Structure 1
Amino acid sequence: MPHSTHLLRRVWFNRYIWQRRGIFWIGGLLVGLAAVLFVEAADFAQSTLRLILRYFPYAPLILTPAGLAFSLWVTRRYFPNSQGSGIPQAIAARHLADQDERSRLLSLRIAIGKILLTVLALGVGASVGREGPTVQVGASIMHALGKGRFKKHQGLVLAGSAAGIAAAFNTPLAGLVFGIEEMSRSFEHRFSGFVLGSIIAAGLVSLFFLGDYVYFGHTAASVQSFQDIPAVFVCGVAGGILGGLFSRILLWILVGPAGRLGSWMRAHPIAFAALCGLGTAICGLLSEGTTYATGYSEAKSILTGEAALPWQFGILKMVATTLSSICGIPGGIFSPSLAIGAGFGANVAALLPQIDPSTIVLLFMVSYLAGVVQAPITSFVIVMEMTSSHGMILPLMAASILAFGTSRLLCPTPVYHGLAENFIRNSRMLRASRRSETEAEISGQS
């Protein structure tokens, strides 16, 4: 008993432990505040875009190519390593031991650029999301707070990333699961309390400013009988195929041997971004303006049955998201993936009229997301929390696992981890190059 009492005193009255806890809690609050500001800025950008489209429906033919080209130029010139989702950068930073190498992927400068440039992309019509970028923002804030104070940086990056997801979607459980499944691929017990503290702090800020909202609203979707079970299999396999195809294309172009396209893209990145912007604008025109930006309102309208969208919405949103993702601008794929899944789900629901359409849409949303990110637990927990569809836990879980397995057949490497390996490889090449230069200078002086 005396030993236990002494141990408790060491834990509760240890200034170092409370300092660490304070960094995680304060960091969580700051991540939550950044996420709220990100939400408001993104909503303003999308509202402005809708206003422009109301009076000038063909404006994206100029606005989107010019906007994407400008965004890429600013990214490369002032905010390098802020491109894309941001999740691969956070994953890569966890595996880099050198402080300077991590700071090239996570910093307050990158966090600011990430928010500004993602908002710009949404304002000019790019098919991107803000949730993935919030992960890099959260990891950057936590990394900046703990820089020089922690020997182990992995817990900081993990906590910031998980808090970012929790605050962006208002899904605290999904934030925790994302941290375990996608960021760490294992649960680090010594950081568990700190990570939970950051998630709670970020969630409280989001709750205070945005209220206790459900991302897509409540849905009455359910699997009513054994006759509905084939829909789980159909959505799981089809969503996995389409999600795996999307990931395979991204990895092939961004880190793989993309042939002549890859060579031309690397030689003329700004022109390539403009072409991607033109393709994105054309998708928007063909879809009656529904494929621009995150796709949040479109996915919600499909799920609730409030409005009918063009039958080609799913495929055009997928093409627009692919173009927006490969051009190198900052922007995520979470929200667009959910919108794509909702679009394809509406197509499948038309073929299965005996089943509640919202059930099929929900199943396809989780299947496509799981197929893209290959994180099945995170996918079904996010969709469940975003729609408050707790009665669909088992069907969503089954569809997510089916999609994950199917996607792996088409794309063996998870997209975020494939991109993260590219960042790690580039960091090591840069370190080796600098070492060679240093050795050459020493050799020349001697």
Structure 2
Amino acid sequence: MPKSPNFRFFQGGMLKHRTTPKFLTTQTDYYALLFLSALVGGIAGSVVAMFEASIRLIGEQRLHFLDSLPYSEFIAPVGAVGAVVAGAAMAAVGFWLTFKFAPEVAGSGIPHIEGALDGTHEIRWHRVLPVKFIAGTLTIGSGMVLGREGPSIQIGGAVGRMVACKGKRFSHSSHILTAAGAAAGLAAAFNAPLAGILFIVEEMRPQFRYNITSIKCVTLATAVATIVMRSLHGQEAFLTIPSFEVPPLRSLILFAILGIIFGIIGVNFNKWILKGTAKVKKYHQNKLSRIVFMGAIFGATFSLLHLVAPKLSGSGMEIITEMFYSPMTWIIMVGFFVLRVIVTVACFSSGAPGGIFAPMLALGTLLGLSYGVVMSAWFPGWIAEPGVYAIAGMGALFAATVRAPVTGVILVVEMTNNYQLILPLLVTTLGATFIAQALGGQPLYSALLKQSLVKDKELRADHQTPLKDVT
């Protein structure tokens, strides 16, 4: 009988994963690190809660400020123009703050955290925290198709680095605290603690240093962040949608087909984002005037869309809830899916400090629900509710693009409180992941990190100022 392999963690090629030669030499250090992890979770949860409240407040003020004034019905046209101008100004200021003071906060910020965990990027937390908070609030609040979940991960990671730097004796533990903060940020953003833990373990597996202590710290930080968020916003699920019955086992073949569809879409979706990001960088060439002008155009465009076609602007969370309770015909939903793919790719490729999680969930809902409506007409005995396929679609697109199927499953069931749908979600997300791998697609954030590193190398070769992680 062959011997089992000897998995001794800190030997040979894995030596680089050791945090420090004298890491946690006493029990006191161990408990102190756990305390710091809980502190990171508490701070991250509080900041993310304020981030969410700020986005909601500034978005409402942009749209409804004039409604509170006397004779508001007579100045409605002025209010519409004012909302568009305000959106343009907000986005322009957000782009200016980002590329002037902290270019690494552009985009979701997740590649920046991955680079920091891998040692290729530095987290300037004293810049990242205020710039990401303010610029993210402005750009997301302007109506652009962006989410707050990716920025919440970067904010959490920056909080972890801040705590590590302030606790100088534990500066060697910055890797653990950064990972713990990133997990706490996602957990607080989606009210999904298990998804926060799994995102670090699964999505950031090339950068995360696995050991039992780091896992404990990440888990503790996510738990504390979730407690803080729930104490401020309640314990309800992130999305208020119906609970569905478990579909029959024979319908799993339909979920597998849906996974294949999303696997193909996910590979191309990532390619479009990478190409769009490269074209935007080629256009502005790091010239601040062009960047600000581009931000103003994006802000004005999506502020106007928010008024005339609200389904084509914003993060898409409202669309998800609306589609479950008031679905449209499948052909119209497919049309909105195509249009939202275009605007999502455009907004995220622009480098605006916002994420793509929420827009992807909206896309998965639209196409998944369209598929469910069609399948319910073709196979009426196989499907309980078409909405089940919308939930499966959320996880499938996430899995195909981010390449984290288990995180996608847990994230969706925690968000929707539909834990009974784990099996169909597994079939769909695994199908999407396998197809994406078979087609040679790369995980989105790893590809963005690689793209930013290549760009940095080119800038250094041209004797220009390095611009780290503008995606």
Q: Does 1:269 align with 2:291?
A: yes
Which of 11, 25, 41 does residue 38 from structure 2 map onto?
25
Q: Does 1:346 align with 2:346?
A: no
Q: Does 1:393 align with 2:422?
A: yes
Summarize deviations over 1:166-220 as a string: whole Å, max 9, x none.
1111111111111101123464323121111111111111121111110113532
Instruction: Say if 1:379 and 1:366 are closer, same or farther in 2 by CA, change over 3 A.
Output: same
Rounded to whole Å, the distance in 2 between the matches of 1:406 and 1:170 is: 30
Instruction: Say if 1:128 and 1:211 are closer, same or farther in 2 by CA, change over 3 A.
Output: same
Rounded to whole Å, the distance in 2 between the matches of 1:317 and 1:47 is: 22
Instruction: Say if 1:65 and 1:245 are closer, same or farther in 2 by CA, change over 3 A.
Output: farther
* Structure 2: tracts of 5 or more residues without a match: 1-23, 68-75, 466-471
- State the match for 1:131 in structure 2: 149
Instruction: Say if 1:298 and 1:14 are closer, same or farther in 2 by CA, change over 3 A.
Output: same
Rounded to whole Å, the distance in 2 between the matches of 1:421 and 1:152 is: 25
| Letter of the structure 1 residue corresponding to residue 100 of structure 2 | R
Matches within 5 A, 1:120-159: 120-147=138-165, 148=168, 149-159=170-180
Matches within 5 A, 1:259-408: 263-266=282-285, 268-277=290-299, 280=302, 284=306, 288-303=309-324, 305-306=325-326, 308=328, 311=333, 312-353=335-376, 354=380, 355=383, 356-408=385-437
Say which is worse superposed, 188-197 or 135-144, in terms of deviation: 188-197
Say which is worse superposed, 166-175 or 232-241, in terms of deviation: 232-241
Deviation at 1:238, TM superposition (A): 1.8
Q: Does 1:102 align with 2:102?
A: no
Q: Is the 8 A contact 1:60 1:125 kept in 2?
A: no
Matches within 5 A, 1:223-262: 223-255=246-278, 258=279
Q: Does 1:82 align with 2:88?
A: no
Matches within 5 A, 1:61-72: 62-72=85-95
Instruction: Say if 1:45 and 1:319 are closer, same or farther in 2 by CA, change over 3 A.
Output: farther
Say which is worse superposed, 138-147 or 192-201, in terms of deviation: 192-201
- State the match for 1:439 in structure 2: none
Rounded to whole Å, the distance in 2 between the matches of 1:410 and 1:301 is: 34
| Letter of the structure 1 residue corresponding to residue 256 of structure 2 | F
Q: Does 1:415 align with 2:438?
A: no
Deviation at 1:66, TM superposition (A): 4.7
| Letter of the structure 1 residue corresponding to residue 40 of structure 2 | G
* Structure 1: tracts of 5 or more residues without a match: 1-10, 437-446
SS, match of residue 294 in structure 1: coil
- State the match for 1:441 in structure 2: none
Rounded to whole Å, the distance in 2 between the matches of 1:222 and 1:417 is: 36
SS, match of residue 94 in structure 2: helix
Q: Is the 8 A contact 1:223 1:229 kept in 2?
A: no
Summarize deviations over 1:32-69 as a string: whole Å, max 9, x none.
11111112112223433553799556767655455433
Instruction: Say if 1:222 and 1:399 are closer, same or farther in 2 by CA, change over 3 A.
Output: farther
- State the match for 1:3 in structure 2: none
Q: Does 1:182 align with 2:203?
A: yes
Instruction: Say if 1:64 and 1:349 are closer, same or farther in 2 by CA, change over 3 A.
Output: farther
Matches within 5 A, 1:108-123: 108-123=126-141
Rounded to whole Å, the distance in 1 between the matches of 2:462 and 2:141 is: 39
Say which is worse superposed, 404-413 or 17-26, in terms of deviation: 404-413
| Letter of the structure 1 residue corresponding to residue 31 of structure 2 | W
Rounded to whole Å, the distance in 2 between the matches of 1:372 and 1:271 is: 30
| % same residue | 24
Rounded to whole Å, the distance in 2 between the matches of 1:251 and 1:313 is: 22
Q: Is the 8 A contact 1:96 1:424 kept in 2?
A: no
- State the match for 1:219 in structure 2: 242
Summarize deviations over 1:112-153 as a string: whole Å, max 9, x none.
211211221122110100011000000001101102423243
Rounded to whole Å, the distance in 1 between the matches of 2:58 and 2:374 is: 36
Q: Is the 8 A contact 1:29 1:198 kept in 2?
A: yes
Rounded to whole Å, the distance in 1 between the matches of 2:51 and 2:283 is: 34
SS, match of residue 126 in structure 1: coil
Q: Does 1:35 align with 2:41?
A: no
Rounded to whole Å, the distance in 2 between the matches of 1:390 and 1:425 is: 41
Rounded to whole Å, the distance in 2 between the matches of 1:12 and 1:413 is: 40
Instruction: Say if 1:431 and 1:189 are closer, same or farther in 2 by CA, change over 3 A.
Output: farther
Rounded to whole Å, the distance in 2 between the matches of 1:52 and 1:292 is: 19
Deviation at 1:418, TM superposition (A): 1.5
- State the match for 1:207 in structure 2: 230
Rounded to whole Å, the distance in 2 between the matches of 1:378 and 1:367 is: 11
Q: Is the 8 A contact 2:116 2:122 kept in 1?
A: yes
Summarize deviations over 1:383-406 as a string: whole Å, max 9, x none.
011111111111101101111222
Say which is worse superposed, 233-242 or 56-65, in terms of deviation: 56-65
Q: Is the 8 A contact 2:62 2:83 kept in 1?
A: no
SS, match of residue 171 in structure 2: coil
Q: Is the 8 A contact 1:140 1:160 kept in 2?
A: yes
Rounded to whole Å, the distance in 2 between the matches of 1:359 and 1:281 is: 32
- State the match for 2:5 in structure 1: none
Q: Is the 8 A contact 1:45 1:122 kept in 2?
A: no
- Could you say what the CA RMSD is over the residues aligned between the two structures, in angstroms? 3.0
Structure-1-length-normalised TM-score: 0.83
SS, match of residue 260 in structure 2: helix
Rounded to whole Å, the distance in 2 between the matches of 1:226 and 1:21 is: 44
Deviation at 1:253, TM superposition (A): 3.0
- State the match for 1:5 in structure 2: none
Q: Is the 8 A contact 2:135 2:353 kept in 1?
A: yes
Instruction: Say if 1:369 and 1:211 are closer, same or farther in 2 by CA, change over 3 A.
Output: same
SS, match of residue 450 in structure 2: helix
Q: Does 1:48 align with 2:61?
A: yes
